[in-house]
Amino acid sequence: MIAPLAFIRQGLRAVLRPAIDYALPPRCPGCGAIVGQDHAFCLDCWSGVQFLGPPCCARCGVPFAHEQGEAAQCGACLADPPPFDSARAVLAYGDVARTVALRLKYGRRIGLARLIAAHMARHVPPDDRAAMLIVPVPLHRWRLWWRGFNQAALIADHLAWNTGIALDKDALRRARRTRPLRGMNPAARRRAVKGAFALHDRQAVRGRAILLIDDVHTSGATASACAAMLKAGGARSVHLLCWARALPRDRPATD
């Protein structure tokens, strides 16, 4: 009887793992130090990151100093509600979070997308997963050609695999190219992305709970433009999930 291919691969990995680890030992994604297993942070990096979660604003996810109730929102969201229904990030934007994001985005360390997606999975809303659809923030075709991949789409691939939620990488498209947003103030960012996104197929998002995937959440201009377009197409709700977010006191100069 021939063993299933998956069983053969699992056996080969178990046999070859010690040799691979000796030749190419696992390294911390934050600093490159040798660690005990793939995609694990060293103690220094682990202790230097700020994981985000409750208590936080029910809408944008900004941390609260103490519990204020499950539906409590921050003053900014009450004054000017964003078009997405919720936004959650794994980490506060800092040295380690930035390093991982940049190594994925510009360093072509595409294996880091699996690490990011694994951490994102705990922030998936407790909705009916059959009604959910994972949609990555798209790149313009010229930037995609230059970079070779869309980091948000790579993360979305792994998140779909981990959760079993449906994925549509073509639901949103960049209707026009935008300038890099780094260095712009929030108002300028909103103007830059206005009209930059379009729906590929309205029927694909109609009535769905959308998990909008991006790597870094700064001013929220890009996510808001995407969420507004998805809502206009009939999406029931839009939930932003990302690797890191800039807290209001510390906005990074990144796009």
The model's pLDDT over 175-193, given as tens digits with 9 standing for 90+, comes to 887 766 676 667 777 777 7
**Are 89 and 61 in contact, with CB atoms under 8 Å apart?**
yes
92 and 102 both lie in a single domain: yes
Residues 128, 10 share a domain: no
Residues 138 and 22 in one domain: no
115 and 166, same domain (yes or no): yes
Are 38 and 101 part of one and the same domain?
Answer: no
d(CA 202, CA 63): 34
pLDDT for 251 equals 47
**241/123 Cα distance (integer angstroms):** 7
pLDDT at residue 219 in the model: 82
What DSSP assignment string belongs to 7-62? HHHHHHHHHHHHHHHHHS--B-TTT--B-SSTTPPPHHHHHT--B--SSB-TTT-P
Reading the block at residue 191, the tokens are 């103007």
Domain presence at residue 176: yes
- Residue 251 belongs to a domain: no
Report the distance separating Cα 46 and Cα 39, nearest Å: 12
Residue 249: predicted pLDDT = 67
Residues 4 and 97 in one domain: no
Please give the residue range of the domain that contains residue 114.
50-245
Say what percent of the chain tops pLDDT 70.
Answer: 85
Beta strand spans in 59-115 (E): 86-92
Res. 23: pLDDT tops 60: no
**Rounded to whole angstroms, how far apart are CA atoms 21 and 199?**
45
Percent of the chain residues past pLDDT 90, beyond the cut: 54
Q: Which residue has the tokens 């998002």?
A: 205
What average pLDDT does the chain have? 85
Do residue 35 and residue 70 come from a single domain? Answer: no
Query: Is there a single domain that holds both residue 30 and residue 100?
Result: no
Same domain, 17 and 123: no
pLDDT at 8: 54
Residue type, 77: C
State yes or no: pLDDT of 36 exceeds 90. no
- Size (the chain), residues: 255
Q: State whether 44 and 80 are in the same domain.
A: no
148 vs 100, which has greater pLDDT? 100
10 compared with 3, residue with greater pLDDT: 10
Distance, in Å, from the CA atom of 139 to the CA atom of 23, rounded to the nearest integer, reads 36
Identity of the residue numbered 239 = H
What pLDDT is stored for residue 203 in this prediction? 87
Q: What is the pLDDT of residue 180?
A: 67
CA distance to 107, 112, 186, per residue, from 43 (Å): 23, 18, 35
d(CA 18, CA 57): 45
When pLDDT is cut at 50, 70 and 90, the band that residue 252 belongs to is very low
Note whether residue 239 is domain-resident: yes
Q: Residue 115 in 3-state DSSP? A: helix
Residue 2 has pLDDT above 90, yes or no: no
Q: How many structural domains are present in the chain?
A: 2
7 in the same domain as 81: no
pLDDT in tens, 128-163: 888 999 999 998 887 778 888 899 999 999 999 999
Range 72-92 average pLDDT: 95
Q: Is residue 234 part of a domain?
A: yes
Task: Report whether pLDDT(254) > 60.
Answer: no
CA distance 75 to 63: 12
- Residue 82: CATH number of its domain: 3.40.50.2020
Residue range 224-236, pLDDT digits in tens: 999 999 999 999 9
Burial of 210 (0-12, 13-18, 19+ CB in 10 A): buried
Considering the domain boundaries, does residue 252 fall inside one? no
Residue 255 lies in a domain: no
Tell me, yes or no, whether 253 lies in a domain: no
Q: Please, which pLDDT band fits residue 19 given cuts at 50, 70 and 90?
A: very low
Whole-model pTM?
Answer: 0.84
Q: Is residue 102 part of a domain?
A: yes
